[in-house]
Structure 1
Amino acid sequence: MGFLDFLFGGGNKKKRSKETVQTRGEHMPDLKIPVDEKFTIQFKKNGGKFIYCDSLDEVHEAFGNILKENQWESLDFYCLNDALRERFSSFGTRFTEMLSKANILLTTCEHLVAQNGSILVTSNQIREIKLTELPDNIIVMATTSQLIESIGEGLKLIKKKYKGQIPTNITTLKHFQPTQENAKDFLTYGSSSKHLYLLLLEDL
């Protein structure tokens, strides 16, 4: 099943086993499903909000809708990426250089990890900032080519990409809004939970 078919349905669907990622025990071997589908399932299970876009125009539209939906138009954004600042400047977005004053983090990422639905970031995106110090609200801009199977694969790709200058503070954003399924996780990790939107641009 393709990525768009999984999100929106349609087409002739083959009969599938009733066993899914959600119903399978956590210690059982992974089901052989596409990496994009697995990421979507795990990301939503973690409580993340996900918007698929097939063009930059759709990215802009989605960003504007997020601002309106949450009434974020007049709030301060923290962003370390100059390209993102420029891309969304047409919305009159206010950026602050002071993390303590920011209401929302706008960032890219290194990879999207299908294994656990997390977002792999490094000091390239958040410097040496601890997850608990980041704003509670986060918007991540990523592309479908950044989807990977596991954290181990992501670390290998980071090592290969940056060679002798491997970034520090390599970590994952995983715990988003609490859901019925991840409630137990939030008892432990609530201090670093985030209200997160993922703008996923098709680039393959």
Structure 2
Amino acid sequence: MSFFNKFFKNLVKTSQKEEDQGSIDQTGDLSIDELFVKKFIHKGGKFLYCTDAEEVQKNLVQVLQENQWNNVVTFDKEINDLLTEIKSAKTSKIIPSLPFMTQCECLIANDGSLMFSSKQLKDKKLKDLPSNFIVYAKTSQIVKDSRDGISGIRNRSEKNSPTIISSIKDFIINKTETDFMSYGNTNSKTLYLLLLEDL
């Protein structure tokens, strides 16, 4: 049984225990994977756990159907291929009413945020992109904190370091953050995370 299955099995018990103790932020016994999921969901992120590529496709189709999205904005070739497989229309032109689908650099466990770079966003700022995001990521991308995230980006891109590093920390529209990772923008997005277990 994967730790995610075990985690979700115990999620209700843990939430009830925390309510009884009057604390939402008890995280001492959680692995970084469990911590990320807990923080992400607590902030309003929509989490879809996938065990294989077929489940990623199935969940993506469901998200698109439920929201009546018949087209998707993406800059990513792998995402383009995924959308072709499920027979979804796609465009690289930014249309605010359509969702933006991308991958990310990493998932930050200690605050449940997602880190992006110019590799995913090109030359765009978060505020220039649609308010609905669909992110495809893997469990191997979960890191403890933003310092580990930035180190990982630097190690992977020694020759072509990204020009922009941004993060989405809130999944309720119109909420703002004021740290350097937000690149001076409102970084709140309604966000669906398709998380594939690859470990």
Could you tell me which residue of structure 1 aligns to residue 91 of structure 2?
96
Could you tell me which residue of structure 2 aligns to residue 186 of structure 1?
175
The one-letter code matched in structure 2 to 1:2 is F
**TM-superposed deviation, 1:186:** 2.3
Q: Per the alignment, in what secondary structure is the counterpart of residue 175 of structure 2?
A: helix
Query: Considering only aligned residues, what root-mean-square deviation do their CA atoms show, in Å?
Result: 2.7
Contact 2:169 2:187 in 1 (8 A): no
Could you tell me which residue of structure 2 aligns to residue 203 of structure 1?
198
The one-letter code matched in structure 2 to 1:136 is S
C-alpha distance in structure 2 between counterparts of 1:172 and 1:21, whole Å:
26
**1:118 matched to 2:107:** no
Query: With structure 2 as the length reference, what TM-score do the two structures score?
Result: 0.83
Identity of aligned residues (%): 31
Q: Per the alignment, in what secondary structure is the counterpart of residue 186 of structure 1?
A: coil
Could you tell me which residue of structure 1 aligns to residue 31 of structure 2?
34
Query: With structure 1 as the length reference, what TM-score do the two structures score?
Result: 0.81
Could you tell me which residue of structure 1 aligns to residue 181 of structure 2?
none
- The answer for unaligned runs of 5 or more in structure 1 is 25-29, 179-184
* 174 and 21 in structure 1: CA distance in 2 versus 1, 3 angstrom threshold: farther
* 89 and 163 in structure 1: CA distance in 2 versus 1, 3 angstrom threshold: same
**1:2 matched to 2:24:** no
Could you tell me which residue of structure 1 aligns to residue 53 of structure 2?
56
C-alpha distance in structure 2 between counterparts of 1:21 and 1:151, whole Å:
24
**TM-superposed deviation, 1:22:** 1.7
Q: Aligned pairs, how many?
A: 187
Contact 1:51 1:199 in 2 (8 A): yes
The one-letter code matched in structure 1 to 2:49 is Y
**TM-superposed deviation, 1:119:** 0.5
